[in-house]
Structures are given as structure tokens and as C-alpha cells.
Amino acid sequence: MSDSKEFTIFFVKPPFYVMRKKIYNAFFERLVLGDHIEWRGQPRTVADFYREFYADVEAKNPDGFNVMVEKYPRTSGGLIDLARISGEGIVQRVKEIVGPTRYEDNFGKNTLREQFGPFVLPNTVVHASTPEEVERDIEILIKYNLMPEYRD
């Protein structure tokens, strides 16, 4: 992006309800001066949201896809902890805060995935890895009324 201010989203899915707030708070503690939380909320998800948001997962991991579509909307009332954040280089910073999906790749990196372990965080936290993914994710979140529209 030519503008130094980027936007991204971060959310914690319904499983592991007890740990969800700890994960969410640990994430915000790692943000830096200049990062801005544009919006935070705890919207209720529905199966169609997961079906669209994870459409690319269905062919690669049909069992995991079905769990998300069938169970997540019923787990903890389908609530997710969601935030829209802005800042210079925020997409990359969030990626570094969360860490690689594979737990072993997080050792010694002080990532959320290292802190919370392989059983809690492999796929519980969601973030976009590129500005293009951010746009797609925000579009879907707005479509399902999970976050308000923004005019930049």
C-alpha cells in the first residue's frame, strides 16, 4: 500500500472459551505505539459465515471445515472476539505476533502460538496475512453484520 496506514482484522474463534479472553488480551498487549484499535466487538457467528469465510478449506480438510460450520456457531453461543486494527505495517506485525500455524516454528519467538501452546492456538486465532486477504475478510465480516462498515 502506498499509504503507511494499513488495516487488518484479528479474531479468536469460539472454541476454548475459557482461554479466549486471555488470548485476546495477550494480543493487544503486543501492539505498539501508533497502532489503533478501530473497532472491537463480540459478534455472534452463524454457519453461513464459516461456510463462506473458510470456503478454501472445504476441499483440503473437509472434516475440519464441517466442524467449523456445524459446531462453531453453537460453541459459546457462536461468539467471537473480533477487532479491526490500523497502523503502519500492521498486517505483518499481526502475523508476527500470532506466529506460524505450525507450533514447532514458534519456539523462541514470543508469539501467541508459542505462549498458548499447540492444543489451544493452532487454528483458534484468525488474522489476514496480506492486504488482499484483509479486504476479503472485512468484506465477509461486514456482509454477515459481524462488524460495521468503514469509510477510509
Residue range 116-145, pLDDT digits in tens: 877 665 667 788 888 899 999 999 999 999
**Residue type for position 92:** Q
Domain boundaries, the chain: 5-143
CB-based burial label for 33 (10 Å; 0-12, 13-18, 19+): exposed
Considering Cα of 141, then 79, then 104, then 27, what sign does the dihedral take?
A: positive
Q: How many residues make up the chain in this entry?
A: 152
Residue range 87-121, pLDDT digits in tens: 999 999 998 998 888 888 989 999 988 888 776 65
Fold of 5-143: Alpha-Beta Plaits (3.30.70)
Are 13 and 49 a contacting pair, CB within 8 Å?
Answer: no
Are 146 and 10 a contacting pair, CB within 8 Å?
Answer: no
